[in-house]
Every structure is written in structure tokens, then in C-alpha cells.
């Protein structure tokens, strides 16, 4: 799978792929990353990419021209590219989106800086627009990376056996039950004793109860969603 980051600051992103699971996936040829800088497409003699907002308002907005030319070029190179914009003015990105986008062959993330991107760019090029949460970042690079990471781990063979996708938070709306590693006792604290007894059906039902309890405490709306879906499935 191919990812393209459209950004003025690729150096903010590159380091993330220089270690661990995604580095290995790139080395194996499962993932492939490239970068496009809208500044390289600016026809302004100083390679300017932003200006003050029409109609007033604080801050600088990214101009349409460099992004139109950059995204035209991207689409010319690959007619199948799926273009995603990240902005706080969008629906929240979810695990279902991550799984769905993992089936695409090429996803491009467009990161804005300054106060945002001229709306005409989004109107013309966006296949989808996502927010990663109800807070404002200084730019879209972190949000693009968050999406790329969440999508990548759903691409087959990116995760090894020891990093399996099997039971994960949000797969059934519920948060995962707590996990423990060795030793069984540490700093006077023990792992949940039922986990030690080897009765796998008991462990499964305890994990399911703990999972519900965690969800009720941290994300009550997710528990409601889970229960509603379960009652429809009956
Ligand atoms: N850019 C700035 N803030 C953002 C957010 N919360 N989500 C996605 N992109 C953003």
C-alpha cells in the first residue's frame, strides 16, 4: 500500500517511519511512503503558499494555487489515489475508517498549516475529511500520521504474530480488558489472580466483564452503542 503525505514539513513526519513496525513493513515492501511539498508547486516568485484570509480573520490561510497544482500532479501520477484532508472541521476518524481505508491501494493525506486551507481545495479534491479529536493542533502533520498508523496496522502482514489484530479495543465498541506481563508479582502488586489459573473459559468471561466495566467508566456512550447493537443482533 502506498501513502503520500502532502505537507510543507515532511521532516515532521519522516522520523516516525524510521523505527519499529512501520520501518519493517517498508523494508519488506508492504508499505511505501512518499512526500509532496505544495511549496514546490507555487508559481509565486518567493514560493509563497499562504495569504491573509479573504473577509478578515486572524492568521494565514493556505492558497489554492500550490495545492491545486500539487494535487493535479498527484492525480495524474495515480488516478486511483484516495485523497484525505485532516482538519478539526470534520467527522472524527474511527477504527472502522482505518479498516476501510486499509483496503485502498494509495491514500494521500493533505496536512494544512497556518489557520487552514482555502475551502475550494477541499471542495475540489477531498474524497474524505477527518478530524482526530476535539482540539486544535498547530498543523495537520500529526493528524495525518495518526491516520496513517491506524490504517497501516490493518494492512495484511504489517503486524507480525506477536502484534496480532485479534481482540482489540473498538472492534466491538468495547475497550480492551487489562493486560499484564511477567513477573506475576511486581513491587507488591499482583496480576489479576484469575489470569493465573489457566481456566481459559473463566479468563474469557472475566475479561469480558472487565472490558465492560472499563468501557462503562471511560466511555459510557460506547457501552450503550455495544448494547444496542447486541440487542438488534438477537
Ligand atoms: N489539524 C489541526 N487540528 C486537527 C485535528 N484535531 N484533527 C485533524 N487535523 C487537525
Query: pLDDT tens per residue, the chain (234 residues)?
Result: 999 999 999 999 999 999 999 999 999 999 999 999 999 999 999 999 999 999 999 999 999 999 999 999 999 999 999 999 999 999 999 999 999 999 999 999 999 988 899 999 999 999 999 999 999 999 999 999 999 999 999 999 999 877 777 667 787 899 999 999 999 999 999 999 999 999 999 999 999 999 999 999 999 999 999 999 999 998
Question: Is residue 162 domain-resident?
Answer: no
Closest C-alpha residue for ligand 1 atom 9: 87
- pLDDT of the residue at 166: 65
Q: Do 92 and 14 share a structural domain? A: yes
- Cα–Cα dist 41/117, whole Å: 15
- How far does residue 96's CA lie from ligand 1's centre (Å)? 19
Q: Do 189 and 100 share a structural domain? A: no
Question: Is residue 164 domain-resident?
Answer: no
CATH of the domain at 122: 3.40.1280.10
- How far does residue 141's CA lie from ligand 1's centre (Å)? 9
Please state whether beta strands 189-190 and 185-186 pair in parallel, antiparallel, or not at all (unpaired): antiparallel
Instruction: State which of 91, 132, 138 you would mutate to test the pocket of ligand 1, scoring each by most atoms of that ligand within 8 A of its C-beta.
Output: 132
Closest C-alpha residue for ligand 1 atom 4: 88
Domain that holds residue 183: 169-233
Single out the residue in 96, 117, 152 at which a domain terminates: 152
Question: Is residue 163 domain-resident?
Answer: no
- Cα–Cα dist 103/158, whole Å: 13
- pLDDT of the residue at 165: 74
- pLDDT of the residue at 167: 64
CB-CB contact of 106 with 78 (8 Å): yes
For the Cβ of 86 lying below 6 angstroms from any atom of ligand 1, the answer is yes
Q: Do 138 and 204 share a structural domain? A: no
For the Cβ of 140 lying below 6 angstroms from any atom of ligand 1, the answer is yes
- Give CA 108 to chain center in angstroms: 12
Instruction: Count CB atoms within 10 A of the CB of residue 88.
Output: 16
Q: Do 201 and 144 share a structural domain? A: no
CATH of the domain at 183: 1.10.1270.20
Q: Do 217 and 123 share a structural domain? A: no
Amino acid at each position: 500500500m502506498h501513502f503520500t503525505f502532502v505537507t510543507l514539513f515532511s521532516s515532521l513526519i519522516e522520523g516516525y517511519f524510521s523505527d519499529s513496525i512501520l520501518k519493517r513493513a517498508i523494508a519488506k515492501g508492504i508499505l511505501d511512503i512518499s512526500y509532496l511539498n505544495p511549496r514546490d508547486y507555487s508559481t509565486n516568485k518567493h514560493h509563497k503558499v499562504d495569504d491573509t484570509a479573504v473577509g478578515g480573520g486572524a492568521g494565514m490561510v493556505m492558497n489554492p494555487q500550490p495545492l491545486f497544482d500539487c494535487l493535479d500532479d498527484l492525480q495524474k501520477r495515480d488516478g486511483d489515489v484516495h485523497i484525505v484532508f485532516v482538519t478539526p472541521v470534520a467527522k472524527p476518524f474511527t477504527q472502522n475508517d482505518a479498516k476501510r481505508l486499509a483496503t485502498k491501494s494509495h491514500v494521500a493525506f493533505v496536512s494544512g498549516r497556518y489557520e487552514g486551507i482555502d475551502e475550494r481545495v477541499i471542495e475540489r479534491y477531498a474524497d474524505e475529511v477527518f478530524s482526530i479529536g476535539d482540539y486544535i493542533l498547530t498543523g495537520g502533520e500529526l493528524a495525518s500520521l495518526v491516520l496513517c498508523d491506524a490504517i497501516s496496522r490493518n494492512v495484511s502482514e504489517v503486524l507480525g504474530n506477536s502484534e496480532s489484530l485479534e481482540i482489540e479495543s473498538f472492534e466491538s465498541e468495547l475497550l480492551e480488558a487489562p493486560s499484564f506481563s511477567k513477573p506475576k508479582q511486581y513491587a507488591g502488586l499482583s496480576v489479576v489472580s484469575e489470569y493465573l489459573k489457566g481456566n481459559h473459559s473463566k479468563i474469557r468471561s472475566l475479561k469480558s466483564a472487565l472490558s465492560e466495566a472499563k468501557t462503562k467508566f471511560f466511555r459510557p456512550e460506547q457501552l450503550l452503542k455495544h448494547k444496542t447493537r447486541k440487542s438488534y443482533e438477537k
